[in-house]
Structure 1
Amino acid sequence: MIVAKDGSGNFTAIQEAIDSIPEKNEDKVIIQMKGGIYEEKLIINKPFVVLEGMENEEVIISFGDYAKKLGEGGAELGTFGSYSTLITGANFYAKNITFRNDAGPGTEVGQALAMYVDADKCRFEDCSFLGSQDTIFLGPLPPKPMKGNSFGGPREGAEKKVGHSYFNRCYIQGDVDFIFGSGVSVFENCEIFSLDRGMDVNGYITAASTPKHSEFGFVFINCRLTSNAAADSVYLGRPWRDFAKTVFINCWMGEHIKREGWDNWNKSQAETTTYYGEYNSHGPGGNMDARVSWARVLTEQEVKQFSSEKILDFLNSI
């Protein structure tokens, strides 16, 4: 199927193409998109969907919802209702697409997700993810809300199955906790760009909520961590939940990365339960000797378990 805003394809809106797919689809469905800005709050709830931007054409999926925005009934949308794109269909593949939330900085609008993934076996290649606070959420939702509050959003009450996802040659932009959640995800050959908020602490790249018994959480391999923020002002991560797992392997890090690397989010108990590790970090912000005492410097033997093929057994099937 071809989606084109100018009417030259089968559909003029992406959601129309998704909605035309059978609920229990079992075959790969390729949806190609011609260039343009598709202003849609997109829900991809069918399995085996392939979404491709046509070669040499810029395809942007963009919406501007945000946590503090009032929805139906006058209630705020909240973090998980603020998404621009939501994926709940397994075996999803995207290529050459920019996913954007253009609501604005979190200091003004709160959280604003560009991408909400709550599905297994998802793959993104040559894609961009643009947002500020909470750019990418990798589900499912953690089992317990913080401070007893309801999560809200479209996936509250859904069955909690840890999803697996792969990001290759992608560009991800944000500031506070902009890659977060409980999914198992590998980021390989990606650029991770931290925005400047003009503050002493300009942000946190990750906020994992990895389930206690999950072997892996977020793994970054051969990535570049870049920024326009001041030196020594961005953390690699902080634990949304106590058993957060995040690892950086062979990554170049700019001077914006804080010397200590990691923050405990004012939860001292998390220092004994998190798994934060690095191997061969390099660049101005890659001095592993200066990290907090409770972070790990991985050995050559330990790092072998973190290959994308070992963590994600579906890579050769998509």
Structure 2
Amino acid sequence: MVAADGSGRFRTVQAAVDALPADARDTTILVHPGTYHEVVTVPATAAGVELRGAGGRAEDVVIEHDNASGTPRPGGGTYGTTGSATVTTHADGTRIADLTIANTFDEQAHPEITNRQAVALKAQGDRIRVDGARFIGNQDTLYVNGGGDDAGRHLFRDVYVEGDVDFVFGSATAVFENCTFHALSRGSSTLNGYVFAPSTPPQRRGFLVVDGRITSDAPDGTFFLGRPWYAGGDASLHPEVVVRDTWLDAAFGPQGWSDMSGFPWRGARLREHGNRGPGALTGPGRPQLTDAEAAAATRRAWLGDWDGRS
């Protein structure tokens, strides 16, 4: 039990994680309502650990910190994108539910920091499930990555993610069901950002968004659904995003996808099907799945024999 006011066994989430035995499995860390300003790391030995908010709403329990990629480390150097994460899990089978994880790095207050990637959650591993949580940030909010062999499978249900540039990114095979992605305006009348930036390995599946909502406060036509991230310039990658049966805001225009770092978006697997709303457009810049392809784009097809329960 974690409670910032001292009424629980631990005052911080990290203290509860550190107290887990070396072979901890299937343990729930219950976090009482409050704001926890800390960096949390779940080690690979804590397979099956669950971080769960006890307030009934994700807004009641907030884990936050404010490191960016370019933030100086106390011992020298900078944190880098991975090191900027407020919460990082290396453990297979991690569960996260009913809480908020935020990276509160203030871009305007730190104009001297130009590397502004600021991760809320980095999920590294296989069979990671998230329910009813919120992830708040700007650039690179949610980092969904594979395991050591890039075999990571992640399932997100009823989740809210907020950001502006590449704010859902990584190499994982990730399914997002009934999730809301809120694309923040950066004040531009032409280009405000990108939602997805997958770095999918070849022969694997990337991101599947089903029955969701992609909203925005940006002007019409100034946001891209995403762009392919060929991490490290690795041309062998085959980035993939499928967005189906999802409501899209008018911030998304006729050109849904963008090139990235010299790699054309048309070389990646970036497709839609059955979307609705003012941003649900079709045409050369918005490639669509066929009906048969859409019928095959399912949680089972993406996650295989893992159904999200174990």
Alignment of 1:232 with 2:221, yes or no, is yes
Any idea what the Cα deviations from partners look like across 1:106-153, whole Å, max 9, x if unmatched? 89441100011111111111100000000011124xxxxxxxxxxxxx
| Aligned residue runs from structure 1 range 267-306, under 5 A | 267=262, 270-271=265-266, 273-289=267-283, 291-292=284-285, 296-306=287-297
- For 1:219 and 1:159, locate their aligned partners in 2 and report how far apart those are by CA, in whole Å: 22
User: Against the structure 1 CA distance between its residues 223 and 195, is the aligned structure 2 distance closer, same or farther, given a 3 Å change threshold?
Assistant: same
Q: Which residue of 1 aligns with 2:103?
A: 101
1:77-98 residue CA offsets vs partner (Å, 9 max, x unmatched): 1111111000101101111110
Matched residue SS, 1:296? coil
DSSP-derived class of the 2:290 partner: coil
Structure 1 distance, partners of 2:160, 2:214, is 10
68-77 or 249-258, which deviates more: 68-77
The residue that corresponds to 1:154 in the other structure is none
- Once residues 308 and 271 of structure 2 are traced to their aligned partners in structure 1, the CA distance between those partners, rounded to angstroms, is 27
CA distance in 1, matches of 2:7, 2:298: 43
Instruction: Give the structure-2-normalised TM-score.
Output: 0.90
Offset, 1:206:
0.7
Alignment-mate amino acid for residue 117 of structure 1? A
List per-residue Cα deviations over 1:188-244 (Å, max 9, x = no partner).
101100011012210000111111221x10111011010111110000111111521
Match of 1:35 among 33, 44, 50: 33
Counting matched residue pairs gives 294
Equivalent AA in structure 1 for residue 202 of structure 2:
K
Superposition pairs of residues 53-92 of structure 1, within 5 angstroms: 53-56=53-56, 58-92=60-94
Check if 1:205 corresponds to 2:199.
no
Structure 2, unaligned stretches of length 5 or more?
Answer: none
Q: Which residue of 1 aligns with 2:47?
A: 47
Deviation (angstroms), 1:184: 0.6
Superimposed CA distance per residue, residues 24-50 of structure 1 (whole angstroms, 9 cap, x where no aligned partner): 32x310111110001110001111111
**1:1-318 → structure 2 map (5 Å cutoff):** 2-25=1-24, 27-45=25-43, 46-56=46-56, 58-105=60-107, 108=111, 109=113, 110-140=116-146, 159-199=148-188, 200-214=190-204, 216-241=205-230, 243-265=238-260, 267=262, 270-271=265-266, 273-289=267-283, 291-292=284-285, 296-312=287-303, 313-318=305-310
Give the secondary-structure state (helix, strand or coil) at the position aligned to 1:133.
coil
Contact 2:150/2:201 (<8 A) preserved: no
CA contact (8 A) 1:206 1:236 kept: yes
Residue 316 of structure 1, CA deviation: 4.6
SS in 2 for 1:24: coil
Contact 2:129 2:308 in 1 (8 A): no
Question: TM-score normalized by structure 1?
Answer: 0.88
| Deviates most, 170-179 or 103-112 | 103-112
With over 3 angstroms needed to count, the CA separation of the structure-2 counterparts of 1:269 and 1:55, relative to structure 1, is: closer
Say which SS state the counterpart of residue 226 (structure 1) adopts: strand
* Cα 1:33–1:268 shift into 2, 3 Å: closer
Secondary structure of 1:315's counterpart equals coil
Cα-Cα RMSD? 1.8
The one-letter amino acid of 1:8's match is S
Q: Percent identity at matched positions?
A: 30
List per-residue Cα deviations over 1:132-190 (Å, max 9, x = no partner): 000011124xxxxxxxxxxxxxxxxx934331111111110000000111111011101
Q: Distance in 1 between matches of 2:23 and 2:219?
A: 49
The alpha-carbon deviation at position 314 of structure 1 amounts to: 2.3
Change (3 A) 1:263 1:270: closer
1:83 partner SS: coil
Check whether the contact 2:124–2:152 (CA below 8 A) recurs between aligned residues: yes
